Amino acid sequence: AQSVTQLGSHVSVSEGALVLLRCNYSSSVPPYLFWYVQYPNQGLQLLLKYTSAATLVKGINGFEAEFKKSETSFHLTKPSAHMSDAAEYFCAVSDDGNQFYFGTGTSLTVIP
Amino acid sequence: DAEITQSPRHKITETGRQVTLACHQTWNHNNMFWYRQDLGHGLRLIHYSYGVHDTNKGEVSDGYSVSRSNTEDLPLTLESAASSQTSVYFCASSGSLAGGSSYEQYFGPGTRLTVT
């Protein structure tokens, strides 16, 4: 069975500081991995995805994530936080590109 | 532009009533999904469909049903609403009629359901 663990339900960073949101997964096959962002009272929007191409994936709004098979991790980073990055972030895994399994989410607060 | 819409956006109902939440997508996707979002649980899959007349149970399907009569719609029905079903419900779609997966799900704006 697949599962996703997001370490830290709440993360706070200062504006301009590095953003690091952690995601570890379990999967019996090479997975597809995704990061989604959710702004208040909205649906989920895709930030980036890993589908067995380059292990360093670049997404929208300056975010990127690195697939590390040996660590079963897919951590999300951004070099410099902006106030507009404050949102809920979800990591998801899929082994067939159809059915997704989501983590419990990480709420990012950006301190001015 | 293609989109996925949900209605109503907000709904208050009483315990025991039947409720149907609508989901409509114009992406021409063959896959559609219903999730519920609760604090501390993230998104949990309720039901999903890989095509017309195909439906499958997800992780938390008890008390819910879906039917798929065309490509565009996957309504979610709560047969007898319970207070435990108070939640935010999201519909999503993926894939194409040509087959294969686009490897990403597109989400609707959500329906906030309160069962009193």
DSSP letter assigned to residue B67? -
Contact assessment for residue A23 and residue A105, using Cβ atoms and an 8 Å cutoff: no
* Residue, of B40 and A62, whose pLDDT is higher: A62
pLDDT band for position A2 (cuts 50, 70, 90)? confident
| Chain B residue whose CA is closest to A37 | B107
Contact assessment for residue B62 and residue B46, using Cβ atoms and an 8 Å cutoff: no
Report pLDDT digits (tens) over B77-101: 999 999 999 999 999 999 854 444 5
Question: Across the interface, do A42 and B40 touch by the CB < 8 Å criterion?
Answer: no
Identify the weakest region by mean pLDDT among A12-16, A32-36, A50-54, A66-70: A50-54
Question: Across the interface, do B102 and A90 touch by the CB < 8 Å criterion?
Answer: no
- Cβ atoms within 10 Å of A49's Cβ, excluding its own: 21
**Is pLDDT of A96 > 90?**
no
Question: Across the interface, do B43 and A49 touch by the CB < 8 Å criterion?
Answer: no
Chain B residues in contact with A53 by the CB 8 A cut-off are none
pLDDT, residue A67, reads 92
The set of residues, in sequence order, having a beta carbon less than 8 Å from that of B20 and lying 6+ positions away, is B75, B76, B77, B78
**Residue located via tokens 């649980």:** B41
| Chain A residue whose CA is closest to B108 | A43
Tell me the mean pLDDT in the region B23-51.
92
Burial of A16 (0-12, 13-18, 19+ CB in 10 A): exposed
Report pLDDT digits (tens) over A82-91: 999 999 999 9
To the nearest whole Å, the CA of B17 is away from the closest chain A CA by 25
Chain B residues in contact with A42 by the CB 8 A cut-off are 109-110
How many percent of chain B have pLDDT more than 90?
79
For chain A, say whether B99 makes contact (Cβ under 8 Å): no
Tell me the mean pLDDT in the region B60-68.
97
Question: Across the interface, do A102 and B103 touch by the CB < 8 Å criterion?
Answer: no
pLDDT, residue A74, reads 95
Give the nearest partner residue to A103 out of B42, B95, B106, using CB atoms. Answer: B42
pLDDT, residue B20, reads 98
**Is pLDDT of B15 > 60?**
yes
pLDDT, residue A3, reads 87
- B32/B53 Cα distance (integer angstroms): 12
Question: Across the interface, do B107 and A90 touch by the CB < 8 Å criterion?
Answer: no
| Chain A residue whose CA is closest to B110 | A43
| Chain B residue whose CA is closest to A91 | B42
- A59/B33 Cα distance (integer angstroms): 24
Contact assessment for residue B47 and residue B31, using Cβ atoms and an 8 Å cutoff: no
Q: What is the mean pLDDT of chain A?
A: 91
pLDDT, residue A30, reads 72
Contact assessment for residue B20 and residue B81, using Cβ atoms and an 8 Å cutoff: no
**Is pLDDT of B39 > 90?**
no
pLDDT, residue B97, reads 47
For chain A, say whether B49 makes contact (Cβ under 8 Å): no
Chain B residues in contact with A105 by the CB 8 A cut-off are 42
Cα–Cα distance list, B43 to A43, B65, B82, B111 (Å): 11, 18, 19, 13
